[in-house]
Structure 1
Amino acid sequence: MTETRLEITELGHRGDGIAFTGTGPVYVAGGLPGETVEAEIQNGRVQNPDYLSQSPDRIEPVCRHYAACGGCSVQHLAEAPYLSWKRNLVEKALKTQGIDAEVAQTIAATEGGRRRAAFTATRAGRAVLLGYHEKASHKLVDISECPVLDPSITSALKGLKSLAADLVPKNGELRITVLSTTSGLDVAFDKADKAYDRKIPALSQKTVELDLARLSVNGEVLLEVRPPLLDMGGTGLVPPPGGFTQATLAAEQALSELVVAGVGKAKTVADLFSGVGTFALRLARTANVHAVEGDSAAIAALDRSLRKPQGLKKVTFEKRDLFRRPLVPEELEPFAAVVFDPPRAGAQAQAEMLAKSKVKTIVAVSCNPATLARDLRILIDGGYALHTVTPVDQFHFSPHIEAVAVLKRE
């Protein structure tokens, strides 16, 4: 196998450098535009690159685990070009759907660290490893630090490993979701050894010693020392164990501000794919809101948060699978505005119904530029005008990007 000299000209959507050759693109993990490498090529990817020149945008990664860990892909890129790259990911996705729209500057929303993290634990002989998988591998990186996390989670890593040692199965992996709340860490273990009940006294003691707010195992709350509270714009909410929440508080605030501003003065709002009510509870400060969500646990959490007087307008909710049963135009008629925030698969079926509706304002929130662009294309073809698109960087050093788009029927 001979070595080839390559000029990297682009940064791909997964964070790899891309060099274009006569036989197609070649991907350079860790490469940056403007760099020259000499390397062997195997299956369209370089092997053991020798850097002949380096980009002025290259910086030293901040984490000791960066070379192996698959959690971050662009720690080596300076902040300004990094945020521009994130914006470009959204622009490219829109152009793929023929949408020529101005995309705002990326909002950096990672301040304070990631409050929600998902770890994996497994056995390695007598030891227990806890961390993230290596890049393109099932091998686990046993982490001692993680600069993207909220410091309260980082400082608990040793204690979490001690808990995991009592729960990790003999074969297979243990899943750990940790959420930093206003009352302490909410820790949920999934796929734990089925015989964990014999260790409940030890687990409970460790939970108290670690000062956790709540410990859950395989969907069952084992011990709740304090309700793990989240502040949803002035409304307290206890999320379901291991349930979805926005990963950083800064991003939740940025996304919520964009959603509330996009809805404007609308007095009746439907919040679709509402989750636990991240947007619904904030929108209800000034509007009557109907929240629709397919996950029973999320709806139950929203229900509990509404049982105490909070100074909100009327909030109703409905459990419904919007992928199979989207709200149809007749059901959408009462609403002046609609917000939707679907999973990565997007909201194609719901967008098709919205395109046929008379709703005046739509605010689309997405964690996947490709499916967002597809859904926006449907709405634009249905007569909506795209007013703003704003990227929000919630997952620092990763290729993931959130975006909020505001459309109006004129």
Structure 2
Amino acid sequence: MAEQVTITRLGAKADGIAESASGPVFVPKVLTGETVTIERDGSHARLVSVDAPSPERETPFCPYFDECGGCATQHMKHGFYQTWKRDILAHTLRQARIEAPIEPLIDAHGEGRRRVTLHVRFPERAMHVGYMAPRSHRIVEIAFCPIAEPGLKERAPVVARAIGEHLSAARKPLDVQITNTQTGLDVDVRGHGPLKDKERLSLIDLAASLDLSRLSVHGDVIVERRPPAIVMGRASVVPPAGSFLQATRLGEETLASLVTEACAKTKRLADLFAGWGPFSLRLAEKSEVHAVEFDQGSMTALDKAFRATPGLRRIATEARDLFRRPLLTPELNAFGAVVLDPPRAGAEAQAKQLAVSKVPLVVSVSCDAATFARDAAILMQGGYRLERVIPVDQFKHSPHLEVVGILRRGVAKKPSRRS
């Protein structure tokens, strides 16, 4: 049944919140102060209409916005959006009882996402290719994605559909990850499981017809027609199939610039959760680097890129699970700085070791404000001061935010943390 409500505030995921007798109701794609008509589904609701719009509302540029779950904020005017996103970080730090200067939000969207993941599903006898609808497994079919880089915008759905057709006999739900590299598209397919010989041969032919650089299934390379290269500073890296990559080129460059600027005077440092080198390869232009990452394939790719790039200082690589085996105090004390770039779960175990170390500088890069605050609080309790907090917006049109924190120890001023 439809009902009319007023949105009182926005949540951290960009949902509007309306108060009701039964508790808060979460409504997507609305703004504070708006009167809207909704249809409830428990504590969540579907937006039927905006009856009294906010002056901060604007028309979304994507024709799929109302249905697609990929973007959440295209209806916000730019200034309102930037303030809201920065305020999420400020609120999270306040909840952790951390006072620190938060710098202006850096727009790092650039030309758009260089990697997208499209879903291929086979309900009944049809094939659907696109993104998921909000809070649903229903596929919103798309012909193009306007927030992707030009080389992906229209090609990604074509590639995903062609792969779905070639693997349709199994009728398994597929996730097709497509990355735009310097040498063409790098595609990794998840969900199918082991391939039969006939399917492998079919995909090899398909990769040629689509002119893909590389095609893999669950990280198993089916064919590599050209090494899918990613430029990082002076170096060129061929990443392991399906491995992590920052969402936008400008986002990666911005984060790396902030990290290298902070570490500019450091002779020897550790890059923890290093991936396959977005920071290490740039840091090595001036400093000796010890790079640590759980995945051996990433360490091999980084080492190969380092050895192929003249003029870099030494990069030592170590495959190690930093969640279970963080670097211990004696190991950490050998470095003049430590860079942390963990996954969304953060680096709690490593932060606890750093808190009792003598490392003078920690640069923390995080894709989750809550785990950033938790880890920063641990470091501050150990005597570090949170000197700078820089929000970086490479996930534009979504609630996700990158955060760079610069923490120093050995300063006269006590850590700025409220009791």
Q: Shorter-normalised TM-score: what interval?
A: over 0.9
> 2:105 matched to which residue of 1?
106
- Specify whether residues 195 and 310 from structure 1 end up closer, same or farther in structure 2 by C-alpha distance, changes over 3 A only: same
> 1:16 matched to which residue of 2?
15
TM-score between the two structures when normalised by the length of structure 1: 0.95
> 1:380 matched to which residue of 2?
380
250-259 vs 76-85, greater mean Cα deviation: 76-85
Distance 2:214 2:8 in 1: 48
> 2:185 matched to which residue of 1?
185
Residues 196-243 of structure 1: per-residue CA shift (max 9 Å, x gap): 420334322321222211111232212211111010111010011111
**Partner SS, residue 364 of structure 1:** strand
Residues 350-400 of structure 1: per-residue CA shift (max 9 Å, x gap): 001100011011000000000000000001111001111111111121111
> 1:29 matched to which residue of 2?
28
| Contact 1:109–1:394, Cα closer than 8 Å, also in 2 | yes
| Contact 1:363–1:406, Cα closer than 8 Å, also in 2 | yes
| Contact 1:168–1:174, Cα closer than 8 Å, also in 2 | no
| Contact 1:102–1:388, Cα closer than 8 Å, also in 2 | yes
- Specify whether residues 358 and 228 from structure 1 end up closer, same or farther in structure 2 by C-alpha distance, changes over 3 A only: same
**Partner SS, residue 54 of structure 2:** coil
Structure 1: runs of 5+ lacking an equivalent: none
> Which letter maps to 2:244?
F
- Specify whether residues 167 and 304 from structure 1 end up closer, same or farther in structure 2 by C-alpha distance, changes over 3 A only: farther
> 1:305 matched to which residue of 2?
305
Q: RMSD of aligned C-alpha atoms?
A: 1.8
Distance 2:248 2:141 in 1: 23
173-182 vs 20-29, greater mean Cα deviation: 20-29
Distance 1:5 1:235 in 2: 55
> Which letter maps to 1:147?
P
- Specify whether residues 383 and 308 from structure 1 end up closer, same or farther in structure 2 by C-alpha distance, changes over 3 A only: same
> Which letter maps to 2:265?
K
| Contact 1:168–1:193, Cα closer than 8 Å, also in 2 | no
| Contact 2:218–2:242, Cα closer than 8 Å, also in 1 | no
Distance 1:37 1:247 in 2: 33
| Contact 1:122–1:168, Cα closer than 8 Å, also in 2 | no
**Partner SS, residue 170 of structure 2:** coil
> Which letter maps to 1:97?
A
Distance 1:258 1:35 in 2: 38
Structure 1 residue 19 displacement after superposition: 2.9
Distance 1:123 1:198 in 2: 21
**Partner SS, residue 231 of structure 2:** strand
Structure 1 residue 119 displacement after superposition: 1.7
> Which letter maps to 2:253?
Q
> 1:211 matched to which residue of 2?
211
- Specify whether residues 3 and 326 from structure 1 end up closer, same or farther in structure 2 by C-alpha distance, changes over 3 A only: same
Percentage of matched positions with identical amino acids: 43
Please list, as runs of the form range in 1=range in 2, the aligned pairs for 1:128-143 lying within 5 A after superposition: 128-143=127-142
Distance 1:24 1:192 in 2: 42
Distance 1:352 1:258 in 2: 24
TM-score between the two structures when normalised by the length of structure 2: 0.93
> 1:350 matched to which residue of 2?
350
Aligned residues: 409
Structure 1 residue 4 displacement after superposition: 5.2
> 2:120 matched to which residue of 1?
121
Structure 1 residue 118 displacement after superposition: 1.5
Please list, as runs of the form range in 1=range in 2, the aligned pairs for 1:8-407 lying within 5 A after superposition: 8-20=7-19, 24-39=23-38, 43-156=42-155, 157-168=157-168, 170-192=170-192, 194-407=194-407
Structure 2: runs of 5+ lacking an equivalent: 412-419
> Which letter maps to 1:229?
A
| Contact 2:172–2:192, Cα closer than 8 Å, also in 1 | no
**Partner SS, residue 222 of structure 2:** strand
> Which letter maps to 1:263?
C
> 2:415 matched to which residue of 1?
none
**Partner SS, residue 306 of structure 1:** helix
- Specify whether residues 348 and 144 from structure 1 end up closer, same or farther in structure 2 by C-alpha distance, changes over 3 A only: same
> 2:416 matched to which residue of 1?
none
